[in-house]
Structure 1
Amino acid sequence: MKIAYISTYAPRQCGIATFAHDILSAISFNDQDKKIDQHVFALTDEGEIYDYPDDVVFSIAQHTLADYIKAAEYINQHQYDVCVLEHEYGIFGGKSGDFILSLIDNLDIPLVVNLHTVLKRPSVDERSILNRIAQRASKLVVMSQFAIELLTQVYKIKETKILLIPHGVPQFSVEHQDAKQKLNLSDRKVIMTFGFIGRSKGIDVAIKALPALVAKFPEVLYLVVGKTHPTTLKRTGEEYRHYLEELVEELNLQNNVRFVNLFVDIADLSLYLSACDIYITPYVNEAQITSGTLSFAVGAGAAVLSTPYWHAKEMLAEGRGVLFNFNDDKKLAHILLDLFSNPDKLDTVRQKAYLYGQELSWNKLGVRYINLFERVVLRQVEEDAVNQLKKIALYFPEFDLTHIKRLTNHVGILQHAKYATPNYHHGYCLDDNSRAMLLALMAYELYPSEELEGLISTYLNYVHYMQLDSGKFRNFMSFSNEFLDDEGTEDSFGRTIWSLGYLLKAAPFNSFYQMGKELFFNAVPHFKTMKSVRAVAYNIMGVTYYLEHQPNDKDVLAELSAMAHYIVSEYRQNSGENWQWFEKIISYDNALLPLSILRAGTILKDDVLIEVGMESFKFLDQLIFEKGYLSIIGNTKWYVEGAERSKFGQQPIEVSTVILLYDQTHKITQDEKYLTKMISSFQWFLGKNELHLSLYDPETKGCCDGLESHGVNRNQGAESTICFWISYMHVKRVLTALT
């Protein structure tokens, strides 16, 4: 994974620069396999030149709009996987920092944004900028729960787009007393504040609280560690620092206040924090959504005293610190006296802070950031795949059952066609009328109409007419309505159960449901007699659809388990190290077998069935997609273990169950590649096949019967056209669910 960071960066003296450096270090610490490349696109303030480390590959001049656009182009051209934006209004050029929008609007990759400031009362520009950023971002990261409330309530951003990851803290390796000794402070009670100096930090409030404390504990030392903020320095110079120094002299605290006028690095900061007994953040207003200094102090196990700004109220809850009112030096003095006078109480606060701080270490948070980046990259890949599928779907034909109706009369659907003309010589069969009923039911769910109600009725009547008193079915009938067999095949029985099971789930009328239920349960006693694994698999398909409607039917659940484990027993007998299949031959409607086992395993919550289903699926998947497009086993010469497979005689019936299989495996694994293969399989009908020829006829709305070595079999029989439209309906349903 390759990550681009947009941020200020060391050696620039800036809290966000430190934050960005800490994230990079934390991710590097957790990237044991060295699979992650991290580069920084550093914001450089006007008139400054920094000796950036190798992490920085691009410098963006803060007030040069063209640099932002060039940075986006660089990121797009150098194959980064994700961009991370450290957002703070003041570090970017333009009005309220709006130059950053030109960068993110030109990015082609996922964007993660760490929000360092979320304003409760933003200006019109500030609100607009943050909303634009939120629209573009894959995920917004905030460091407090209150920030989530502001984003959802003030900015109307969906909470699903927001993730809370607290501000990280460094590893504190030096013990408290050892740190004091290193700083020659062993005999002092150490109070500390660090960070950029400015009037909003309220340091004068802390100094005013000291005289009462020093009167009882003259060994108290207040360390004020940090330089004046660069922006403040340019605007008003050291005016505030001079004021603080004068205040110290006025209160005669020269021995009790020490200014460390440095921008300290992490190592020195860790030492100072480890040495302090009490840490103070006396900020003068509540509008501080995140404070890295506060997080660091808690992580170091200091007892923290703070005014009740937003971040402090969350961080110091449950006794992890003590709050006092804004500008209330008297209350602060009282709290300091109380804690130093009661060492056990002070130790309790320190211990609670320390335990909480252990969960804030950058090394732990680095794992959370890696997981976040991987998720947004994967989601982008999935979204790209879905969007590509939707684009492909734009070229699908319009739904049209003209040829199905051409083949259907008042009796049922005729088996075969001569080109696109019904061929009366071969009459009707149960297989095709059952399939046609399944198609009509699926179509009715998406496009309900009286015409489809009539088709369902016609095909259901044929099924009813062909059922024997025993519950089995005849299959063939001539055009003159004469029965041509005494009893149909196991496969035709199973295909009928499939369509009846679907009818019991999706019947448009109660009368259809009642007839279907009677036909279905008349046939159930024969489930146990089936020997053909395909017939059993067809039965399973119907039973699983029925159980989607009646999930607590214990008798049918038992039938399902028995049938599924029968197929598994056949798998155990026939499969081997290099042959994960149910028979010693791969013949027709092959995807049906793993499909039925996976559906059964899902209904029964049976891991054995899921395992066998996935093993056999992966074996078949390698065979039919080894060329990068669907190339099913042809029936000219079926595939025997160890022999040559047939390239031609590819038929639509194979493709329809392949499509159902890929959808089922996607539901189980959530792997988007199976959706892609599902769509690619449908494109077999449209020319993505061995001959690069379309089997679908846009003039007749029918589908040709197969791919032969001499070309396309141009006859458009019932089976091929039904399988085309069933495939179409299923793909349409899946794509509709994705929108």
Structure 2
Amino acid sequence: MKFACIGTYPPRECGIGSFTSDLYHSMVGDITQNENEGFIIAMKNSDEEYSYPKEVKLTIQQENRNEYIAAAKNINNSGADVCILQHEFGIFGGQSGIYILSLLYRLKIHLVVTLHTISNTPSYTQKAILKEICKMANVVVVMNLKAIDFLTDIYDVPREKIAFIEHGVPDFHFDQKKVKKEFNLEEKKILLTFGFLSRNKGIEVAIKALPKLVKKHPNIIYLVLGKIHPGVMRSSGDEYLVYLRQLIKDLMLEDHVIIPNEYIPQEDLFKYLYASDIYITPYNNEAQITSGTLSYAVGAGSAVISTPYWHATELLANGVGRLFDFHNSNQLTDILIELLDEPETLHALRKNAYEFGRNLTWPKTGIKYNNLVSDRLQDKIETKGQSFDILNMPPFSLKHIHRLTDDTGIIQHAKFSIPNLKDGYCLDDNARALLMALLANKEKNNYKALELCPIYLSYIQYMQNDDGTFRNFLGFDRNFLDEVGSEDSFGRTIWALGYLLGNAPDYSYYQSGESILKKAVPVFDKLKSIRSIANTIMGISYYLKRNPGDDSMTELLSRLSNKLVESYEANSSDDWRWFEPFLTYDNAMLPLALLHASEIHNDDKIRKTAFTSMEFLISKTFTNGYLSIIGNDGWYEKNGKRAVFAQQPLDAMAMILLFQQAFKLTKNIEYLKKLFKAYMWFHGENDLRISLYDVETNGCCDGLESYGVNRNQGAESTLAYLISHLTVLQAHKDFKKANFIKKRSHGKIQQNLIN
């Protein structure tokens, strides 16, 4: 078996690095007697320069996403049978370590994940990332039984996918008298704590327990080995160390507490463990699912006293160690005095720990990993990503839309899921909201959606100027913020009004919409923006489906469609079949508009331009088998480099609508498959492999950024998601209807679902 292991690695000073090194060597073992071989992919910060040992074949800069993608290719080509990931949120790049998903998604071999941290109160992003990692893994290894409950209850991980293997410990043996002599501590009683220092380690609790103890046992030395955590050092400097040293001085413990603030090599660390009489972990809260330092102490046969955090509660049960309450220095003092006053009790505690620790040594742990991996290599490799199933779509919900909507209109922006009233309202979003509500009423007979329509329609009416143009922005105080809105907002409004006239719930809606639309018609020929023209074409097309005899509107549609075709002809070439010399935002609306126009006009030139430009757009956004939207952070100029991030939900919606119309015209099932793929962009089939739809708020996040998800959930994003959701339901019905008719014509009537 050959394995690739991803994690931090020595000489980087990191607990995960020590674990990765120990795991690697225990799995390889004696190379002359072991058929296993492996190599390391080491995570590093951009400012780190290390001389790595020979087993490190590749490094990944933490914040360079491209290196994660390159590493996946290297692993796939290495001949490795399995990849073993050491997961800790702090060692991977992007928001909450999201970049690791880009690597894991591209793996074509088995995946084993060891989880070093599992929160019972994760952030939205942490939960989404960990769920996705566990979904892609063949097996998830935890080092604490409580972690199994967390994974099944909070992260929806199947129980059969989880394996329990306790944290390994190095197999060192030292004589206490000899190592005490080596450190000139023969006459001392040694209390020990080690690990990176930070406020949550509770070192001050142990220090405050010493004054009373020192009076009874004046030969006490409390050694605190380790240095300030690098993350703490970056954010707060050595403030915690200064505080501890001042506390030592205030309690007059200078002769009894030693904090060297330096990283201790593993062998020396175990010498100190054997030299110590009692080991203390005084952490401040229970949320510690795994502690390597605690495992080391038990493995060395130390008498351990700890606060009852999760790992300690489990590991120190049955007489392996002793517990004291969080922040309770007096209780710690009493336990220390008891153990030092009663050598037999102290000896029994050490003996219990040592006997239990023999089961945790790395040689034995390595065998457990080897057996686990060998067994799971027989498993089928998990399919990356999510297959589409109409039954797995989240329920349609207007909860977030109601949150954003008041009696004036829909608030355009949100801070996370809370409406940002300072930004007021805009015409674009109220037009989209009208479109969404009409779709929801038509597709799901949703009465609550219908009740919202007058609010959005009245906003559109209120914002129209006497010359047919529209204002766009309205403050929360109901004051106008512009005189004339953008052409984009005009076009989107005409699209929504056209859809209203083609799908009016009753004649009063039709009359109101027609009044606004007809007043705006003189503006149509003055439009310059091709996206505004495209949106206007959409509105006219819907209108003409109900009013096919309106010759003047038919002629307008022809003129506007030809403007798009002329723009295409002026800018396209053999290698750039597009309407402009760049791809920017809302790109799919351009071919979509021509597909709608061709349905009315049945014009070959319009239709050919639509399908040719659509296929070009597909070639630029579906190269990896999923939708990768042109990013707004730089866009994509002809002969230039495309931007990947600042991907917007609006663009995904436009692609979904494009594929729906293409399927409607051609009945080509490939367009429907792409429609479903594009919809799954919202649910994690994207460049960062993470969902933008929030099942808790029923809102949609504002986009994919280079660092992760923009967690704000404004109106544009949520409306784009809901319109997409409704379009998928509509397209699925269209498919079933078309397929039913086809099969009936062959004498085979049966129901069909696309999965």
Residue 112 of structure 1 pairs with residue 106 of structure 2 = no
For residues 560-571 of structure 1, what are the structure 2 equivalents within 5 Å? none
CA contact (8 A) 2:136 2:383 kept: no
- Identify the residue that residue 133 of structure 2 maps to in structure 1: 133
- Identify the residue that residue 743 of structure 2 maps to in structure 1: none
> 2 CA distance for matches of 1:381 and 1:104?
12
What letter matches 1:315 in structure 2? L
> 2 CA distance for matches of 1:382 and 1:278?
46
- Identify the residue that residue 87 of structure 1 maps to in structure 2: 87
- Given the superposition, is the C-alpha separation of residues 383 and 203 from structure 1 closer, same or farther in structure 2, using an over 3 Å criterion? closer
* More moved, 49-58 vs 328-337: 49-58
> 2 CA distance for matches of 1:277 and 1:196?
21
For residues 280-299 of structure 1, what are the structure 2 equivalents within 5 Å? 280-299=280-299
For residues 448-487 of structure 1, what are the structure 2 equivalents within 5 Å? none
Deviation at 1:181, TM superposition (A): 1.6
- Identify the residue that residue 61 of structure 1 maps to in structure 2: 61
- Identify the residue that residue 526 of structure 1 maps to in structure 2: none
Deviation at 1:35, TM superposition (A): 2.0
CA contact (8 A) 1:30 1:366 kept: no
> 1 CA distance for matches of 2:318 and 2:305?
14
CA contact (8 A) 2:2 2:37 kept: yes
Query: How many residues align structurally?
Result: 384
CA contact (8 A) 2:170 2:361 kept: yes
What letter matches 1:230 in structure 2? P
- Given the superposition, is the C-alpha separation of residues 383 and 370 from structure 1 closer, same or farther in structure 2, using an over 3 Å criterion? farther
> 2 CA distance for matches of 1:302 and 1:33?
33
After superposition, give the CA deviation of every residue in 1:639-691 in whole Å (9 maximum; x if it has no partner): xxxxxxxxxxxxxxxxxxxxxxxxxxxxxxxxxxxxxxxxxxxxxxxxxxxxx
CA contact (8 A) 1:72 1:107 kept: yes
- Identify the residue that residue 160 of structure 2 maps to in structure 1: 160
Residue 374 of structure 1 pairs with residue 377 of structure 2 = no
- Identify the residue that residue 13 of structure 1 maps to in structure 2: 13
- Given the superposition, is the C-alpha separation of residues 236 and 5 from structure 1 closer, same or farther in structure 2, using an over 3 Å criterion? same
Residue 363 of structure 1 pairs with residue 363 of structure 2 = yes
> 1 CA distance for matches of 2:62 and 2:382?
35
> 2 CA distance for matches of 1:238 and 1:126?
28
For residues 234-245 of structure 1, what are the structure 2 equivalents within 5 Å? 234-245=234-245
- Identify the residue that residue 229 of structure 1 maps to in structure 2: 229
Deviation at 1:341, TM superposition (A): 0.6
After superposition, give the CA deviation of every residue in 1:82-117 in whole Å (9 maximum; x if it has no partner): 000000011111111110000000000000000000
> 2 CA distance for matches of 1:222 and 1:311?
23
Deviation at 1:33, TM superposition (A): 2.5
- Identify the residue that residue 462 of structure 2 maps to in structure 1: none
> 2 CA distance for matches of 1:249 and 1:372?
51
Deviation at 1:262, TM superposition (A): 1.8
What letter matches 1:139 in structure 2? V
CA contact (8 A) 1:166 1:360 kept: yes
What letter matches 1:77 in structure 2? N
> 2 CA distance for matches of 1:381 and 1:92?
24
- Identify the residue that residue 29 of structure 1 maps to in structure 2: 29
- Identify the residue that residue 253 of structure 1 maps to in structure 2: 253
CA contact (8 A) 1:2 1:79 kept: yes
> 1 CA distance for matches of 2:126 and 2:227?
28
CA contact (8 A) 1:288 1:309 kept: yes
Deviation at 1:172, TM superposition (A): 2.4
Deviation at 1:28, TM superposition (A): 2.5
What secondary structure is seen at the aligned counterpart in 2 of 1:54? coil
Deviation at 1:363, TM superposition (A): 1.0
Residue 77 of structure 1 pairs with residue 77 of structure 2 = yes
For residues 145-224 of structure 1, what are the structure 2 equivalents within 5 Å? 145-224=145-224
- Identify the residue that residue 340 of structure 2 maps to in structure 1: 340
- Identify the residue that residue 50 of structure 2 maps to in structure 1: 50
- Identify the residue that residue 323 of structure 1 maps to in structure 2: 323
- Identify the residue that residue 101 of structure 1 maps to in structure 2: 101
Deviation at 1:372, TM superposition (A): 1.3
- Identify the residue that residue 274 of structure 1 maps to in structure 2: 274
CA contact (8 A) 1:10 1:21 kept: yes
What secondary structure is seen at the aligned counterpart in 1 of 2:59? strand
What letter matches 1:46 in structure 2? S
What secondary structure is seen at the aligned counterpart in 1 of 2:379? helix
CA contact (8 A) 2:284 2:327 kept: yes
Deviation at 1:260, TM superposition (A): 2.8
Deviation at 1:32, TM superposition (A): 4.3
- Identify the residue that residue 3 of structure 1 maps to in structure 2: 3
What letter matches 2:323 in structure 1? L
> 2 CA distance for matches of 1:153 and 1:113?
18
User: Which consecutive residues of structure 2, in runs of 5 or more, have no partner in the other structure?
Assistant: 385-755
CA contact (8 A) 1:6 1:85 kept: yes
What letter matches 1:50 in structure 2? Y
Deviation at 1:50, TM superposition (A): 1.4
What letter matches 2:160 in structure 1? T
After superposition, give the CA deviation of every residue in 1:561-613 in whole Å (9 maximum; x if it has no partner): xxxxxxxxxxxxxxxxxxxxxxxxxxxxxxxxxxxxxxxxxxxxxxxxxxxxx
> 2 CA distance for matches of 1:341 and 1:164?
38
Deviation at 1:24, TM superposition (A): 1.1
What letter matches 2:166 in structure 1? P
> 1 CA distance for matches of 2:126 and 2:305?
31
What secondary structure is seen at the aligned counterpart in 1 of 2:186? coil
Deviation at 1:13, TM superposition (A): 0.6
- Given the superposition, is the C-alpha separation of residues 153 and 310 from structure 1 closer, same or farther in structure 2, using an over 3 Å criterion? same
> 2 CA distance for matches of 1:166 and 1:335?
27
> 2 CA distance for matches of 1:3 and 1:260?
38
- Given the superposition, is the C-alpha separation of residues 381 and 70 from structure 1 closer, same or farther in structure 2, using an over 3 Å criterion? closer
| Pair member with larger Rg | 1
> 1 CA distance for matches of 2:144 and 2:382?
30
Deviation at 1:54, TM superposition (A): 1.0
Deviation at 1:38, TM superposition (A): 1.4
For residues 317-716 of structure 1, what are the structure 2 equivalents within 5 Å? 317-380=317-380
Deviation at 1:136, TM superposition (A): 0.5
What secondary structure is seen at the aligned counterpart in 1 of 2:378? helix
CA contact (8 A) 1:172 1:274 kept: no
> 2 CA distance for matches of 1:382 and 1:122?
25
After superposition, give the CA deviation of every residue in 1:323-381 in whole Å (9 maximum; x if it has no partner): 11111111101110111011111111111111100100001111111111211223248
Deviation at 1:2, TM superposition (A): 1.3
Deviation at 1:383, TM superposition (A): 11
What letter matches 1:22 in structure 2? D
CA contact (8 A) 2:195 2:225 kept: yes
> 1 CA distance for matches of 2:50 and 2:380?
35
After superposition, give the CA deviation of every residue in 1:453-492 in whole Å (9 maximum; x if it has no partner): xxxxxxxxxxxxxxxxxxxxxxxxxxxxxxxxxxxxxxxx
CA contact (8 A) 1:30 1:363 kept: no
> 1 CA distance for matches of 2:46 and 2:228?
18
- Given the superposition, is the C-alpha separation of residues 279 and 21 from structure 1 closer, same or farther in structure 2, using an over 3 Å criterion? same
What letter matches 1:354 in structure 2? Y
Q: Identity percentage over the alignment? A: 46
User: Which consecutive residues of structure 1, in runs of 5 or more, have no partner in the other structure?
Assistant: 385-739
Deviation at 1:46, TM superposition (A): 2.6
What letter matches 2:157 in structure 1? I
After superposition, give the CA deviation of every residue in 1:189-246 in whole Å (9 maximum; x if it has no partner): 0000000011110001000000000000000000000011011111111110111111
What secondary structure is seen at the aligned counterpart in 2 of 1:260? coil
- Given the superposition, is the C-alpha separation of residues 243 and 39 from structure 1 closer, same or farther in structure 2, using an over 3 Å criterion? same
What letter matches 1:119 in structure 2? S
